[in-house]
Amino acid sequence: AGPVLFADPKVDGLAISLRYEHGELVEALTRGDGEKGDLVTGNVRAIRAIPLKLRAPRQQRWGGAIPAVLEVRGEIFMPIKEFERINAEREKHGEELFANARNSCVGTLKNKDPKIVASRRLSFVAHGRGEGLGLARRLGVVQQRRASASACASDVISTGPMSQGGVFTRSRSQSIASA
């Protein structure tokens, strides 16, 4: 039994940090230059894939409460079909086409008009691992699908609704992976 390869798609979008207080979205910040990001809360509120209010699961066994503060990190992206739709519309009106989905996403989010943001149908996935992320999933935050493990690299590289900027990979030997 050889090594097993795990791969997660690198979503080609804009890194974002969402801050919820008592279940309400109160702040959305881009990563910016690593020290100072842009406050884009108003525009993020126009993205349907991002819950404005967290909801407690209906499961009776939940028994938990929405935390006072929860920070969710993820990626805002423009789905490929939306990028194609926008460019077709721009072409029809004789406007310059957008170069790629990532730059279109970034430009859309930095736009000062939330109506334009809403019209461009951006999406969002949370990423990372940990207890906080599992809680976010239970409270209604959409998360990135993980590729399944495989012994063959071509099996874990897939296409999805978003543009991929690459693939994060890690490997473990078969004996460790099955333990």
**How far, in Å, CA of 34 to CA of 39, rounded?**
14
SS3 assignment, position 125: strand
Examine the residue annotation and report whether 81 is marked as an active-site residue of this protein: no
How many CA atoms, within 13 angstroms, populate the side-chain half-sphere of residue 151? 7
Q: Which amino acid is it at 34?
A: G
Query: Residue 108 and residue 117: Cα distance in Å, rounded?
Result: 6
Q: Please, what sign has the CA dihedral across residues 144, 136, 46, 39?
A: negative
Catalytic residue selected from 10, 81, 112, 115: 10
In 3D, which of 145, 147, 155 has the Cα closest to residue 75? 145
Catalytic (active-site) positions: 10
